[in-house]
Amino acid sequence: MINLSQTVKEGAAVVAEIERRSGQRITACLQCGRCTSTCVAAFAFDYPPHRLMHLLQIGLVEEVLRSETAQLCLDCMTCSMRCPVKIDVAGVIETAKAIADEAGLRDTEPNLRLFRRGFLNNVCRHGRLHETTLLLWFNLRTGKLTNDLSLAPLLLRKKKVRIFPPRIKNLRQVRRLFQQVNGSAGPPR
Amino acid sequence: MTAYSYFPGCSLTSSAAEYDVSFRLVANAFGIGLDELTDWNCCGASPAPHHWGGELGILLPARNLHIAGAGHPSVVAPCAGCYNRLKYAQFELERNPELRERTGAALGEAVRYQTEVLNVIQLLNREIAPGDLSERVQRRLSGLSLGTYYGCVLVRPPEVVRYDDPNNPVKMEPLLNATGAATPHFPFKTECCGSYMGLAKKEMVLQASKRIIEVALECGIDALVTVCPLCHQNLELRQGQINAAYGTDYHLPVLYFTQVIGLALGHLPAELGIDQHATTDFGRWMLDAG
Amino acid sequence: MIGVFVCQCGTNIAATVSTDRVVQAAKSMLGVVHAESIQYTCSDPGQRAIIDAIQQKGLTRVVMAGCSPRMHEITFRRAIGRAGMNPFMLEMVNIREQCSWIHSGIDETTEKAIDLVRKGVARVRRQKPLQPGSSPVARRALVIGAGVAGIQAALDIADAGIPVTLVEKSPTIGGNMARLDKTFPTLDCSSCILTPRMVEVKQHENIKLMVNSEVEKVRGYIGNFEIDIRKKASCVIEEKCTGCLICQEKCPSKAPDDFNACAGESKAISIPFPQAVPLVASLRKEYCRLFISGKCSVCQKVCPADAIDYGQEDTVVTEKFGAVVVATGFGLYDWKQSYPTYGMGMYPDVINALKYERLLSASGPTGGHIERPSDGKEPRDIVFISCIGSRDESVGRPQCCSIGCMYMAKQAILTKEHIPDSQSYIFYIDVRAAGKGYDEFARRAQTDFGAIYIRGRVGKIYPRGGKLVVMGTDTLAGDQVEIEADLVVLATGLTPAEGAGGLARRLNISTDGQGFMAEGHPKLKPVETNTGGVFLAGACQGPKDIPASVAQAGAAAAKVIGLLSREEIETSPMVAEVNQLKCTGCFKCRDVCPYGAIENQDAMGGQVAHVIASLCQGCGLCNVACPPGVISLKGYTDNQLIAEVVEVLR
């Protein structure tokens, strides 16, 4: 059983923070479910968008911050376009994800986090993305060497594989951008 | 001849090289000059705004805007993802002086961010009147039903990109119709394809893209038309994976907007890189095309 | 000898305005001999206190600082009249709606209240006693729109012995109710209860019915409206037509069937439905072969009554009315452009509920057999979706349509009665069934007729193998759902009827954010408007169902009967006045006057302007237009207004 008088009180600060950063009013949600109805990704979520909104309404913030939904949302914004009370639902989910990241809640969907990190490291290394090395790196790290292997013959046959990585001239400048965010030189971890 | 700065982005130099090729062919045919940005970098794509607090999602495209600022008045980014990132960076830099400051500090000089950013549909609509295209059509695509697939990032968020109707975009249609092709109602024209989940969470992409293909076929569509390399990858390159996962037998061609126009102008499919696609089950209309 | 009375209005004013400080400040204003603060000035003891002060202190002018004059000006005019003063020696200063309610800090709000009072004192100091006039009342009512509300209002007024003109823009009376199959919550047949009322209208000696007609121009004021009504040419001589329908049968020109919500097809010359009143054909020129290509005259040839007249022209009649009832009803929200994900009208089997109503109706195009538009097949799985263009800010329509939940339940029940092995699904957000017997009815749709209620809003509709996939959410199950439907019925929201905005402007009445006509007060003046003598009935004022429309129509009729039972009504003395000594005779005033209240007069050795006091409505246009500035409005003289501005800028 959920002790509402407790959760509402305890969750209030985080909910207020989400409202402030996203500029959205969680209380405005009337739970019509249209966000979920339009969501292409909800089948993969633990909480469909409308439930996530309701969890926030009743202060169950930990569930939200640790949710797969916050990590897996594709940010396609279809829900935000359709919401009958004009809540930017995708913005709320994105904000929850950012707060979870800051709070160090990193157990949910680690592979996705790994992919994003690999992608950015790849860009930091070359200035541009080298798809081939990203694929190889990711598969090595996750131990799933056959991931997308089925595409290999096709990619090779259709000359879609670029063997050598690109490299831009002023890589130093790009790395300074990374440094700005990460505080350290070189590819962040 | 009007000249534009050109930001191809990573995909157009590798897995979506045919998009670059076909875009240049079409631009050339209509006297549109394209000057590739010098030493451009990756726009950050989907991972940057969703990692490490998201600021790289502004900083990386900001560098490209900065480079473009020294060139022509407008920069075109054919990749819908790159277009979205450039618009986003511009939007944020415009309203956040402190961010502007930080960006400038990292770049080593005050950031130039006000260059007009165009997507490929916008550029071609500006430079090519449907009537002119119609007159120059060598291979009329009559009888062909094209599903205009805009995806999500081209038109959203509307307050940032300010382009077309975010729920029912229609700007591709006039030029496609000028080729003789029909563009029937396609209810999934802005449905998300599964975005960048292809490697890390493949089932999301396969299911989302499968539904788009399924509905396209239901609507009697012969080929989808897109402006996004990531959408193309999910809908086209992964069609075999979709078939394997769901026991389907889809062979729906997915073409870049510029490839369709190139075909109508009389270019051979191979010249437009269409032979580099996985699905070459083009049927009657492509056979006619040689 | 000015008295200032500052109302506390309980805490409405006193919470943000220090009324004591306002009183203190007022005492030092020029001419003020008495000032006091009263808890409720409008209460009986409050009025008593004012009267006492007037009589004891010998006050000759009064400033009331309190609510809006719209609220209580009449109250206080009467009060000071009882104290023996001229009732117009009063100035209402609004320190509530325009001050205490909209500001928060006590100091600033009190400052503003003092400024406003100073302004009022300056003005009342320059006020002169005025005497109201009177004008005769035209004993005839105009009812605009002949749906159930207009019919009810017309019959009630006519039954009281007052002549009524009932104007309807379409070829028949009956409105939207005539299109309904059954009505909730009793399931009585709509036409069975409406048709007798329609016939009564036709037969009533006090009702003059004008169909194909619209109000074109409105002049005058309460008790004395002069209104032009245009009767559009229908190419049929009403008196001759017998309603035999031969013309409709033989007519070769197809036309949309508006009455059946385009569920069927009609002809260019037609009678909308068998119970139409009057039972007279009308020709729509835009679809008629004769008017399009010049070749055809079939209807004229076959008409046994010789009633067809292709040369018929519009006629405009002008009549005098003492009162007007607006009953223009509602239209349906056009969902196609705003709901691209529901197919934008590309799927023939996604229809609005009115069209479905016609498919259910025995008098409809399918004779009461439910056939879906695409292929005429009987549907098995029917999905109803609520709140289309209602409760949806994303399409700019936040309000509840107030009848959707009920008619969806009704249609689900009727569907089950028509097709016993059918399954209805109803997507809802909240089931709003607050009327008498309503909730019991909506429950029966579930318990006795097997409708499945799904709490959620639909995201998308797309085709799959001859069916329509409805993608939605069951928020109670917490998951996405999809239904393969044969037919989708949309509960579209209600809009004001087409042309309602133009009519409102002609009648000089206001409309709300959605274009519905605005009542005088949301609680206390539900059928009045801001224009005296113009009343509202039915859905023109806001979405409502049949019982509410009929009730409001009855109330409007009672107001009209009350007004028209008087011989004459008092007119405001605040009218324009020309200083003929200085008038140059340019007559700019006459040209701008909307009421025709200014005439030429031979005086001062030439032609000068003269105001007909009984016509003047005190709008002030002439006042502004007059180049030498010699017209003034009594009670609003330039002197008074300038004094106010000076005081407020001080």
Domain assignment of residue B126, yes or no: no
Tell me what ipTM this predicted complex has: 0.93
Of C341, C387, C473, the CB nearest to A36: C473
Among C100, C132, C164, the domain boundary falls at C132
C353 and C488 both lie in a single domain: yes
Provide the domain limits for residue C476.
334-492
The answer to whether residue B61 sits within a structural domain is yes
User: Which chain B residues are Cβ-neighbours of C340 within 8 angstroms?
Assistant: 165, 167-168, 187
CB atoms within 10 A of CB C13: 25
Q: What DSSP element (H or E) covers C254?
A: strand C254-256
> Is A82's Cβ below 8 Å from some Cβ in C?
yes
pLDDT digits (tens, 9 = 90+) for B167-214: 999 999 999 999 999 999 999 999 999 999 999 999 999 999 999 999
Across the B:C interface, residue pairs with CB atoms under 8 Å apart total: 24
From the CA of B225, how many Å to the nearest CA of chain C?
19
Q: Cβ separation of B156 and A76 shorter than 8 Å?
A: yes
Q: Please list every residue in chain B whose beta carbon sits closer than 8 Å to the beta carbon of residue C344.
A: 168, 185
pLDDT, residue C330, reads 98
Specify if C646 maps to a domain: no
Residues B171 and B244 in one domain: yes
Interface check B52 vs A, CB under 8 A: yes
pTM for the model stands at: 0.89
B102 interfaces chain A, CB cutoff of 8 Å: yes
Does residue B276 share a domain with residue B147? yes
Q: Which of B90, B118, B146 is the last residue of a domain?
A: B118
Same domain, C343 and C470: yes
Q: What are the CB-based long-range contacts (under 8 Å, 24+) for C366-372? A: C366/C263, C366/C264, C368/C181, C368/C418, C369/C418, C370/C415, C370/C418, C370/C419, C370/C487, C372/C348, C372/C486, C372/C487
Last residue of a domain, one of C522, C551, C569: C569
Q: What residue in B sits closest to C469 (Cα-Cα)?
A: B215
C484 with C344, same domain: the answer is yes
> Given an 8 Å threshold on Cβ–Cβ distance, is C456 in contact with A32?
yes
CATH number of the domain where residue C606 is located: 3.30.70.20
Q: Chain C closest CA to A67's CA: distance in Å?
A: 15
Same domain as B270, residue B203? yes
CB contact under 8 A, C480 and A85: no
CB contact under 8 A, A128 and B42: yes
Measured between beta carbons, which residues in chain A are less than 8 angstroms from residue C404? none
Amino acid at B222: D
Token reading at B55: 């600021």
C393 vs A: CB within 8 A = yes
Whether residue C22 lies inside any domain: the answer is yes
Interface contact B187, partner A, CB < 8 A:
no
Residue at C645 is within a domain: no
- Comparing C-alpha atoms, which of B39, B47, B108 is closest to residue A188? B47
∠ CA C483-C489-C491 to the nearest 5 degrees? 120
Cα of B148 to nearest chain C Cα, Å: 14
Enter the tokens of residue C531.
């224009």
**Chain C residues closer than 8 Å to A82 by CB:** 341, 394, 459
> Domain range holding B151?
138-288
Disruptive mutation site among C383, C394, C461 for chain A (greatest number of A CBs within 10 Å): C394
pLDDT for the residue B290: 40
In a domain, B129, yes or no: no
pLDDT for B289 = 47
Same domain, C472 and C341: yes
Check CB contact of C584 with chain B, cutoff 8 Å. no
Instruction: Choose, out of B201, B203, B246, the residue to mutate when testing the contact with A (most A CBs < 10 Å).
Output: B201
Instruction: Report whether the peptide linkage leading into residue C256 is cis, meaning its omega lies within 30 degrees of zero.
Output: no
Note whether C156 and C228 are same-domain residues.
yes
Using the CB atoms, write b or e for B118-155: b if 16+ within 10 Å. Answer: bbbbbbbbeebeeeebeebbebebeebbbbbbbbbbbb
Task: Give CA–CA dist C491/C497, Å, rounded.
Answer: 17
Which of C492, C517, C547 corresponds to the end of one domain? C492
CB contact under 8 A, A178 and B56: yes
Q: C470: nearest CA in chain A?
A: A37
Cα distance between residue C307 and residue C238, in whole Å? 7
Please tell me whether residues B152 and B101 are part of one structural domain.
no
Domain harbouring C405, CATH code: 3.50.50.60
- Along the 290 residues of chain B, how does pLDDT read in single tens digits? 799 999 999 999 999 999 999 999 999 999 999 999 999 999 999 999 998 889 999 999 999 999 999 999 999 999 999 999 999 999 999 999 999 999 999 999 999 999 999 999 999 999 999 999 999 999 999 989 999 999 999 999 999 999 999 999 999 999 999 999 999 999 999 999 999 999 999 999 999 999 999 999 999 999 999 999 999 999 999 999 999 999 999 999 999 999 999 999 999 999 999 988 988 766 555 545 44
Nearby residues of A104 by Cβ (< 8 Å), 6 or more positions away: none
Tell me, yes or no, whether C347 and C477 share the same domain.
yes
**Closest by CA position to C167, among listed C499, C525, C596:** C499
Say whether residue C73 is in contact with chain A using an 8 A CB cutoff.
no
Residues B144, B274 share a domain: yes
> Which DSSP string corresponds to C228-247?
EEEEPP-SB-TTT-----HH
Distance CA(C187)–CA(C413), nearest Å, equals 9
What per-residue confidence (pLDDT) applies to B43?
96
* Residues on chain C touching A31 (C-beta within 8 angstroms): 475
Q: Is residue C641 part of a domain?
A: no
C56 and C32, same structural domain?
Answer: yes
Q: How confident is the model over C89-136, as pLDDT tens digits?
A: 999 999 999 999 999 999 999 999 999 999 999 999 999 999 988 889
User: How many percent of chain C have pLDDT more than 70?
Assistant: 100
Residue B71 covered by a domain? yes
Q: Quick check: A82 and C459 CB within 8 A?
A: yes
Residue with structure tokens 């309980």? C10
Instruction: Specify if C52 maps to a domain.
Output: yes
Confirm whether C67 is domain-assigned. Answer: yes
**Which chains neighbour C (Cβ–Cβ under 8 Å, 3 or more pairs)?**
A, B
Are residues C486 and C356 part of one domain? Answer: yes
> Are B162 and B33 in the same domain?
no
Q: Which amino acid, one-letter code, is at B155?
A: V
Q: Which residues face C319 on adjacent strands?
A: C227
- Asked whether residue B155 falls in the same domain as residue B268, the answer is yes
Q: Chain A within 8 Å of B108 (Cβ-Cβ)? A: yes
Q: Do B51 and A116 touch (CB under 8 A)?
A: yes
Q: Do C104 and C26 share a domain, yes or no? A: yes
Phi, psi of C333 (to 5 degrees): -60, 130
Which residues in chain A have Cβ-Cβ distances shorter than 8 Å to B194? 40-41, 74
Instruction: Mark whether B25 and B69 lie in a shared domain.
Output: yes
| C340 contacts in chain A (CB < 8 Å) | none
The answer to whether the Cβ–Cβ distance between C459 and A39 falls below 8 Å is: yes
Question: Is residue C507 in a domain?
Answer: yes
Inter-chain contact B15–A129, Cβ cutoff 8 Å? no
Single-letter residue type at C468: L
The reply to whether B34 and B79 lie within a common domain is yes
- Tell me, what amino acid is at C320? K
Cβ atoms of residues C40 and C13 within 8 Å: no
- C370 and C467 share one domain: yes
Cβ of B168 within 8 Å of Cβ of C464? The answer is no
Instruction: Tell me: do C584 and C616 sit in the same domain.
Output: yes
Q: What pLDDT does residue B288 have? A: 52
From B118, B153, B172, give the residue that closes a domain. B118
What residues pair up with C189 in beta bridges, in sequence order? C182
Which residues 64-83 of A have a C-beta within 8 angstroms of B? Answer: 72, 74-78, 80-82
Contact C462 B185 (CB under 8 A): no
At residue B283, the pLDDT reads 55
Check if C294 contacts B (Cβ < 8 Å).
no
DSSP secondary structure code for residue B153 in this structure: T
**Interface check A162 vs B, CB under 8 A:** yes
Chain B positions touching chain C (beta carbons under 8 Å)? 165, 167-168, 185, 187-188, 214-215, 218-219
Number of domains chain B is built from: 2
- Across the interface, do C479 and A48 touch by the CB < 8 Å criterion? yes
Q: Would you state the pLDDT for residue A106?
A: 84
| Residue A38 CB contacts under 8 Å (≥ 6 apart), including other chains | A78, A79, A81, A82, C341, C459, C460, C471
Asked if A158's CB is within 8 angstroms of B278's CB, the reply is yes
The shortest C-alpha distance from A142 to chain C (Å) reads 31
Q: Which of residues 409-438 of C touch A (CB under 8 A)?
A: 429
CATH number at residue B71: 1.20.1050.140
Low pLDDT (below 50) residues in chain A:
185-186, 188-189
The CA-based angle C353-C481-C345, given to 5 degrees, is 35
Residue B218 C-alpha, separation from nearest chain C C-alpha, in angstroms: 6
Neighbours of A101 (CB within 10 A): 19
The parts of chain C modelled with pLDDT lower than 50 are none
Q: Kindly state whether residues C220 and C244 are assigned to the same domain.
A: no
d(CA B227, CA C54): 82
- Which residues in C14-79 belong to E strands, given as ranges? 32-38, 61-66
